[in-house]
Amino acid sequence: MSSPLFADAAHAFKNDLAAGSRAASRNPDIAALKSCRSRSGKALFPCQKWGARIMKTFLKAGVGVLILIAVGAAIAGGGKAKPVSASNASPVAAAGAPVVSPPPLSSAPAMPADQAAFLVLIEDARAQYNGAANDMAAGGLRAARRDALCRMFANGYAVRNWVGQITTLSSNSDGKGVLAVQVAKDVELKTWNNALSDISDHTLLDPSSPLFAKLSQMSKNATVTVSGRFLKGKTDCLAESSLSQAGSMRSPEFIFVFSDVQRL
């Protein structure tokens, strides 16, 4: 049986949520997103700017839902909850319900906005590729992703302080450094691993460089930020080393010239 206190809290939150929905209907970002979608139809990622801004708003709203669930669990279990200070009290706390403190946020560093947008594009293209009706449709999605990436990097291929994890830290037969950093599941930025492939790209790390010396003190699986630049590619807009279309769409490995790596 639900507690009257929980019912009151739920009612209060429902009112807050309704008010938020009314405010959202007047949100200019939502209006812009609807207008963009009506113009672009099913084109790949034409409206991602508005979607990202709206997502930030709804992520904030999601915190209220988590607090409400925690309140219900505390009351149903008969457990004691920690009070919330007046400075950060939620609508649920204002209704008189005890509130359980949420778990601490992850200590992982914040992802730069351009990295987040890049990964949304890659993941959406992967999902559509996996659901393609046939090989022709799948091939068309690779071309659409290429065009979207070219638009995203229209002002240059350099990025700064992208967050990732070292997955490869080795050297080739000439002693030059080979590096790969995973910036999301199944998405890597990497150097070539041999001199022949690298003959014109110059991604391998010179043993006499400060970056080589710095990386020599790091280890595989270390969390890092990376700066550098992508290389231009014909098939995917950015140079990518997969041997097949499926590999490129499902687990892309982008060739990258690293200029700096910082351990976190």
Beta bridge mates, 263: 224
Whole-model pTM above 0.75? Answer: no
E-strand ranges in 111-238 read 158-171, 177-184, 187-190, 223-230
**CB-based burial label for 229 (10 Å; 0-12, 13-18, 19+):** middle
Residue 38 pLDDT: 55
Residue 14 pLDDT: 45
What number of helices (H) and strands (E) belong to the chain? Answer: 8, 5
Q: Please name which of 93, 94, 113 lies closest in space to residue 102, comparing C-alpha atoms.
A: 93
Residue 31 pLDDT: 56
DSSP 167: E
Locate 123 and state its tokens.
């993941």
Q: Tens of pLDDT along the chain (264 residues)? A: 444 444 454 444 445 444 444 544 455 555 555 555 555 554 555 555 545 554 444 444 444 443 343 434 443 444 444 443 434 433 333 334 444 444 444 456 789 999 999 999 999 999 999 999 999 999 999 999 999 999 999 999 999 999 999 999 999 999 999 999 999 999 999 999 999 999 999 999 999 999 999 999 999 999 999 999 999 999 999 999 999 999 999 999 999 999 999 999
